Homo-oligomer: A and B are copies of this chain.
């Protein structure tokens, strides 16, 4: 008999709350519509066709991905417009060509003149046309060319003139918005992101090359940008699920978190008034992104199995490979949480935690007690 509620699931398992997912998707879709840009959901977090279908509902149908395996998977599931949002390495182009031959169009990105030339030459060799955008550095310092650089124009021109490549536009990612601690700071980063992309696109156009797409994206900047004038699309990803880190940088509230891990108490250390659950470094990840935040929740915020909070906040303070250690405070003692008690854990960084599982168990917090498993959605991992 398959599990029917979160109380008979094997533990640890990954729980996805459909009501919260739908609410998060709607909020971003409304934001994009209001700001006059297309929404290209980034599926690096969800890696699930079921989530993708909900996320593109009412949108243009395009998605972004972070790995070629995601591109292959989503193409095999019928997604036709896929931006592979990591700088392409020339020896990956045969895999890209294989995906395109199945009927999906992949948009590549690069920040290198040499790689651009390799794309053009591989396109001729494989008799396949590659669609390419230039990545811009809008202040994060990770990758991308600067908007005022010579490379920007050179890459655009090489692509514009190529027989087996097309220049599709510019893209940038304000990953440094994660460093922001106030909405005012996010607004500032968002404006720098917009300005970088728009000024680069205008410069390219002044050089006589068409620049159709002006793509920006991070969950905080997509939500808080005061203006997206000149931008054509946003590519946020983590907004679908939210996590404890995003809640602390104002991307969502703790009540919006759609992903949690269900675990069970496996041991007590009564002398220390703490317990172990069977969810540790592998089930939660070792991400510590709330470490220097106002509310450091260790490796995850702990609630009752049905998602209701404890009176005194509980967190996973320490992880071992398969165990999480939870200190008890206030009136709570080990006797009240016997071995086998189920708890929900809301992770720091959902992209890391979800990647440890190959499926989502769906609940709906707006239906009944919210503990019934209403569906199982597969997800992919790896490269």
Residues of A bordering B, CB below 8 Å: 10-13, 44, 66-68, 86-92, 95, 111-112, 114-115, 135, 137, 141-144, 175, 264-269, 272, 276, 278, 281-283, 285-288, 320-323, 325, 338-340, 351-352, 355-358, 381-383
Contact = CB atoms under 8 A, between A and B. Distances in A.
Nearest to A140: B320
A13 B383 contact: yes
Contact of A288 (B66, B144, B286, B323): B286
A112 B282 contact: no
A261 B12 CA distance: 27
Contacts of A112: 267-268, 339
A354 to B, nearest CB: 10
Copies in the complex: 2
B11 A383 contact: yes
Contacts of A278: 86, 89
A109 to B, nearest CB: 10
A382 to B, nearest CB: 6
A126 to B, nearest CB: 16
A86 B320 CA distance: 11
Nearest to A95: B10
A383 B12 contact: yes
Given A323-B142, A356-B355, A339 B87 contact: yes
A362 to B, nearest CB: 18
Given A112-B339, A142-B323, A323-B86, A286 B283 contact: no
Interface centre among A137, A267, A272 (most CB of B within 10 A): A267
Contacts of A264: 89, 91
Contacts of A111: 267-268
Nearest to A282: B355
A35 B111 CA distance: 58
